[in-house]
Chains A and B, each alone.
Chain A
Amino acid sequence: MSYAARHGTQLYRSMVRIRAFENAAEAASQGGVSAFGSAGNGQAKVRGPLHLSTGQEAVAAGVCAHLQRDDCLTSTHRGHGHTLAKGADMQRMMAELFGKASGCNGGKGGSMHIADFSVGMLGANGVVAAGLNIAVGAAHAQKLQRRDAITACFFGDGAINRGPFLEALNWARIHALPLLLVCEDNRWSATTASGAMTAGAGAAARAQALDIAALQVDGNDVFAVAEAAARCVAEVRGGAGPRLLHALTYRVKGHVSVDAAAYRDAAELAAALHTDPIARARAALLALPGCDAAELDAIDAQAQAEVQAAIAAAEAAPWPEAAAAFTDVQDTGAGTWF
């Protein structure tokens, strides 16, 4: 029985939940920030920079399918999908994007700092490549604590040009840490194509130069991602040391939700849309015996209903108390602000 037949609908469900979340967040964010020639209007429910992972869902779904609840995860500024796939509560996530008190961070972080420590998701990050060394530390702690848990770290193609990428990979290798490095390569570094900014063959080649086994995979084929991740996770969990998975995908949206990405070739986007991971998974599933469209339609409808409920709950939720600006800063010296 193929991987798709055994796990297909779960992976499909994971992806459509992310897509529904991203689409709803995108709609709620228009006018939320002044950037890329678009003016903030003060009316948006989701304010500030919103980095969408639309079209990249297969990487989050395929990798996180193999993580346990007590495995750790660090993510990027484009981290909603990873967080959902790791098992975070969608309502608390949407409330966080709305800046509400019921958000997973109490409204203190928003989209760029989405996190749910209760499922091992140690945070998205506003700084490119910053999650890598935090993941190294979490994995090092897991090794010292003799735990079975591992750490996974998502980062983008832009991150491999920052120094912490080299430092993290070197450290993970010399200490043989239980760390899965996932380069979610969406081809774009903000508004600059990454290829022209990157020497050599990219993330996998750089990992191999440090004696870290690396796989490259079609990041828009959720079954291929899941199968590759299964191998990598099994090896990492088995004590083989770090592994790197280089997943090639495409950033369908702009850098942030109000960026129309007019700087890129329309043909490139059109070609990428032909490889949409959800459409491909759906077609592959429908080709299997025993899978019908009604089952997948029901999954789509459930995801829509879930996200609408999350939007409604986020809208209804109260703002944080102003006093919350002064909590969780530090204990030592708390109460002295000037």
Chain B
Amino acid sequence: MTYAEAAALALADAMQADPRVVVLGEDVGRGGIFGQYKGLQQRFGPERVIDTPISEAAILGAGVGMALAGLRPVVEMRVVDFALCAMDELANQAAKNRFMFGGQGRVPLVVRMPIGIWDASAAQHSQSLEAWFAHLPGLVVLCPGTPQDNHALLRAALDCGDPVVYLEHKTLWGERGAVDASQRVEIGRAATLRAGRDLTLVSWSRQLQTCAQAIEPLAASGIDAELIDLRCLWPWDRDAVFASCARTGRLLVVHEAVQVAGFGAEIAASAAEATGCRVRRLGAPRIPVGYAPVLEAQSRIGVDQIVCAARRLLD
């Protein structure tokens, strides 16, 4: 099953189990432009899989109002770059509603806003902005990196009752993997993909694949790396990361997002404070993503950079 199909299955299961779950966004009736809503409108009808105008502020704002009125909406922003048109609705309304009204209401809302560099899509369709949302009290921030997690984390997001920023990666839609629909994941738990003695590698989303590709060259350099899929940015799994760092004494955080003020800085600082380990961050330079292949490549994190950064931690 693909990463997109896993999300569609999770949503279909949730809609079947709970009539309060509705979907709204542009093109969702046709299955979404990435196929992540395929078949849902045929199965559940246009009242529950709601096609909307190109009105991001209204899509997210209406999601907040629906949640307050007793529904459990999933809203589609198409790409995270477009979600910026709905920042008041997310940051000032969804995230703060419960607190500023003294707990009178809840906003069980899942906001899907795909991230990442994808098919020569240039500066406004390629960003990874997860750190923005981790900064906002009230929000849960999830970054599934596999089909299995895109099923389990979407179910968990729908169940958790808080507003969730759900960041799928656009190059992962066609990624295939086994999906056990009965498997549940607790939000805030990382997955250790590989054990290692010398170095803790923490990453998430598509960048996990590059990290996995770096394992062998690292081993060839005599570095036995442990690889952790953080997958939840808020709350994040300090226990798993700190325990690993305490063992290895070295932490490298790798993410596709711009390195400056990225979430890697938060993890690195926290791990250093807690365990005294050596830390490095590896993210994109602080430049917009360019269109031409040679320009776009400057924003990508490759295996060589990971190996190089890891070696510097062991020097």
Contact = CB atoms under 8 A, between A and B. Distances in A.
Nearest to B238: A336
Contact of B65 (A104, A127, A136): A136
Contacts of B315: none
A332 B187 contact: yes
Contact of B69 (A72, A118, A126, A171): A72
Contacts of A107: 102
Nearest to B234: A333
Contacts of A295: none
Interface residues of A, number: 49
B271 interface: no
A145 interface: yes
Interface in B63-120: 63-71, 73, 88-89, 92-93, 97-105
A329 B137 contact: yes
A144 B19 CA distance: 11
Interface stretch (B50-58, B171-179, B305-313): B50-58
Contacts, number: 155
B65 A115 contact: no
B7 interface: no
A100 to B, nearest CB: 11
Given A127-B92, A130-B92, A332-B140, A137 B55 contact: no
Contacts of B88: 127, 130, 164
A138 B58 CA distance: 12
A123 B97 contact: yes
A77 interface: no
A330 B187 CA distance: 13
A95 to B, nearest CB: 11
B162 A330 contact: yes
Contacts of A127: 88, 92-93
A172 to B, nearest CB: 9
B137 A140 contact: no
Interface pairs A-B: 4 shortest CB-CB: A137-B65, A133-B61, A333-B235, A105-B102
Given A137-B73, A167-B55, A170-B53, 5 more contacts: A74-B65, A122-B65, A127-B93, A137-B61, A171-B52
5 contacts: A109-B100, A127-B88, A141-B66, A167-B55, A332-B187
